[in-house]
């Protein structure tokens, strides 16, 4: 619209164009203004958005369909877990750290417990069975976590059936967890000194069942997705991040391996005896979302291999350290609502031994002291390097615990992946990082 309009004169102000409408049709007035011209659109995606994996907020600046700038806003799920830990005993700490990355509770617990054990200097004293159970649980957890990734990413990119199948198998893994620890998630199962209780025979049977059908199911997922034109178009060549980009942004885990670098802490800096297991580190050269999908699929297969080996070497024995000053009463009864009391233990301390009662009281209320110092324990979580930096001042409570959370660090890659791409690819790129906001915000 050019020239003076008697019905709707316009003038420029600092706030933009202002029309003074005195008559005529509103549609006529605005039709002269090109809505796209010189217009940046800022879209706020989240924090409540089904494809942001929780409460992630993205502020996207768009030119048409192209993202020119992406800003990630986090902190909506900050619960002060690290601060809370400083007010509980060392053993109670597992109950808190397990709630950080809620899709990978066993990894949080294991990193924390390995750190506490290193501070205590009892790393060598952990029974072999306990370490094997930890490996077993971690790999089961890796499968369940990757299944959630596959399920939700499938859903976000239009493969709704994948969501149903992914959650179906994940539920089976969670059933195994429930059999072993009494809880599906946030189990606080790994404890400083070992694990809370032994694996029951029914669970072994169920894990064998999983080993039996899972390879076929993984094949089914691949049949469902790998050749699917929509899946290929949504993932191939999307959100590429090469090794240089990954390293400078600190990205580890499947995303780094999808760029071709076989960096897996289970191989490169082994812990929990991973050097004695036989497995490969899957990599892909393409560095796109599709490569990350393939890496995760293959990692599930490798995890199955490790689980099988762990089952075979599961020899009878104690599951918690022999030192009674550290070991909490193991072999608790599993009730409907998780781990309950150990009836034998209660009978002993309440009915037979005064000393045991005193000892139990001291251990549970006061806890144990951990010699002063600090350690950093990295483990290979489903999302990358999960590091626990644990500081002790010699007291009965952690002085400081900091988690190097792969979700937190990896989310920094979103601008690098999204800017210059299409709006729809922001979803694919963000999902391929597999962020869990509980872990990210802690």
Partner 1 sequence: MTDSVSGGRGLFGVSGSGDTSGFGGLVRRTRVPASLGRPVGVEEFDEVLDGLAEALSGGERTEDEVEPAFASFDEVIERIVVDRGELTLHVKPEAIADVCRTLRDDEGLRYELCSSVSGVDYPAQDRRLHAVYHLTSMTYRRRIRLECAVSAEDPHLPSVTEVYPTADWQERETYDMFGIVFDGHPNLTRILMPDDWEGHPQRKDYPLGGVPVEYKGAEIPPPDQRRAYK
Q: Whose Cβ is closer to partner 1: residue 391's or residue 418's?
A: 391
Q: Whose Cβ is closer to partner 1: residue 213's or residue 361's?
A: 361
Percentages helix, strand, coil for the chain (3-state, rounded to 5) are: 50, 15, 40
Q: Considering the complex, what minimum distance in angstroms separates the CB of residue 9 from partner 1? A: 40
Taking CB under 8 A as the rule, does residue 412 contact partner 1?
Answer: yes
16-75 binders of partner 1 (CB under 8 A): 74-75
- How many C-beta atoms surround the C-beta of residue 170 within 10 A? 20
Taking CB under 8 A as the rule, does residue 395 contact partner 1?
Answer: yes
With CB under 8 A as the contact rule, the residue among 1, 47, 59, 118 that binds partner 1 is 118
Altogether, the residues listed in the chain come to a count of 442
Taking CB under 8 A as the rule, does residue 250 contact partner 1?
Answer: yes
Q: Whose Cβ is closer to partner 1: residue 221's or residue 408's?
A: 408
Q: Considering the complex, what minimum distance in angstroms separates the CB of residue 263 from partner 1? A: 6
Q: Partners of 402 in the beta sheet?
A: 389
Calpha distance 186→86 (Å, rounded): 19
Taking CB under 8 A as the rule, does residue 400 contact partner 1?
Answer: yes
- Stretch touching partner 1 by CB under 8 A, among 94-102, 290-298, 337-345, 359-367: 359-367
Strands (E), 369-409: 373-381, 384-392, 400-404
Taking CB under 8 A as the rule, does residue 260 contact partner 1?
Answer: no
Binding mask 312-341 for partner 1 (x = CB under 8 A): ------------------------------
- Stretch touching partner 1 by CB under 8 A, among 51-59, 210-218, 289-297, 360-368: 360-368
Q: Using DSSP, state whether 100 is helix, strand or coil.
A: coil
Calpha distance 58→387 (Å, rounded): 26
With CB under 8 A as the contact rule, the residue among 291, 411, 414, 436 that binds partner 1 is 411
* 341-351 burial code (b ≥16 CB/10 A, e <16): ebeebeeebee
With CB under 8 A as the contact rule, the residue among 204, 375, 422, 423 that binds partner 1 is 375
Q: Whose Cβ is closer to partner 1: residue 169's or residue 385's?
A: 385
* Interface size with partner 1, residues (CB under 8 A): 51
The answer to whether the CB of 252 falls within 8 A of the CB of 404 is no
The answer to whether the CB of 437 falls within 8 A of the CB of 262 is no
With CB under 8 A as the contact rule, the residue among 7, 26, 87, 213 that binds partner 1 is 87
Taking CB under 8 A as the rule, does residue 255 contact partner 1?
Answer: no
Q: Considering the complex, what minimum distance in angstroms separates the CB of residue 75 from partner 1? A: 4
- 167-174's contacts with Cβ under 8 Å and 24+ in sequence apart are 169/214, 169/217, 170/144, 172/206, 172/210, 173/140, 173/141, 173/143, 173/144, 173/147, 173/210, 174/144
Q: Considering the complex, what minimum distance in angstroms separates the CB of residue 269 from partner 1? A: 6
Peptide bond into 299 cis (omega under 30): no
With CB under 8 A as the contact rule, the residue among 22, 168, 366, 420 that binds partner 1 is 366
Q: Which two tokens stand for residue 215?
A: 């390879």
Burial label, 118 (beta-carbon count in 10 A; 0-12, 13-18, 19+)? middle
Residues found near partner 1 in the complex (CB under 8 A): 74-75, 78, 80, 82-84, 86-88, 118-119, 121, 247-252, 263, 268-269, 365-367, 371-376, 378, 385, 387, 389, 391, 393-397, 399-400, 402, 404, 408-409, 411-412, 441-442
């Amino acid at each position: 619209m050019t020239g003076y309009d008697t019905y709707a004169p316009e003038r420029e102000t600092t706030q933009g164009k202002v029309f003074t409408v005195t008559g005529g049709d509103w549609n006529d007035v605005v039709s002269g203004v090109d809505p796209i011209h010189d217009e940046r659109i800022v879209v706020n995606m989240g924090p409540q958005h089904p494809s942001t994996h929780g409460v992630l907020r993205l502020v996207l600046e768009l030119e048409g369909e192209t993202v020119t700038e992406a800003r990630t806003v986090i902190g909506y799920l900050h619960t002060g877990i690290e601060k809370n830990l400083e007010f509980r005993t060392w053993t109670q700490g597992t109950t808190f750290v397990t709630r950080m990355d809620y899709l990978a509770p066993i990894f949080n617990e294991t990193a924390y417990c390995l750190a506490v054990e290193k501070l205590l200097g009892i790393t060598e004293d952990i029974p072999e069975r306990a370490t094997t159970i930890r490996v077993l649980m971690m790999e089961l957890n890796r499968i369940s976590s990757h299944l959630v990734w596959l399920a939700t990413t499938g859903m976000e990119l239009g493969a709704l059936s994948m969501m149903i199948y992914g959650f179906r198998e994940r539920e089976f893994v969670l059933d195994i967890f429930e059999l072993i620890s009494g809880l599906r998630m946030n189990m606080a199962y790994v404890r400083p000194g070992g694990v809370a209780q032994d694996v029951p025979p029914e669970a072994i049977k169920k894990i064998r069942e999983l080993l039996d059908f899972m390879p076929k199911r993984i094949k089914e997922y691949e049949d469902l997705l790998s050749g699917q034109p929509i899946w290929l178009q949504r993932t191939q060549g999307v959100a590429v991040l090469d090794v240089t980009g990954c390293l400078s942004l600190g990205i580890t885990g499947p995303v780094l391996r999808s760029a071709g670098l076989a960096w897996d802490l289970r191989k490169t800096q082994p812990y929990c005896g991973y050097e004695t297991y036989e497995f490969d580190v899957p990599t892909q050269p393409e560095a796109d979302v599709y490569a990350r999908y393939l890496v995760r699929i293959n990692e599930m297969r490798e995890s199955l291999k490790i689980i099988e080996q762990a089952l075979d070497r599961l020899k009878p024995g104690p599951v918690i350290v022999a030192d009674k000053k550290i070991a909490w009463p193991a072999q608790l009864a599993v009730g409907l609502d998780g781990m309950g009391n150990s009836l034998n233990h209660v009978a002993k301390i309440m009915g037979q031994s005064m000393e045991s009662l005193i000892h139990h009281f001291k251990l549970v209320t006061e806890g144990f002291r951990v010699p002063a110092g600090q350690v950093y324990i990295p483990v290979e979580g489903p999302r990358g390097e999960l590091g626990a930096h644990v500081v002790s001042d010699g007291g009965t409570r952690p002085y400081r615990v900091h988690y190097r959370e792969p979700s937190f660090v990896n989310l920094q890659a979103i601008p690098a992946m999204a800017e210059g791409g299409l709006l729809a690819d922001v979803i694919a790129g963000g999902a391929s990082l597999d962020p869990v906001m509980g872990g990210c915000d802690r």
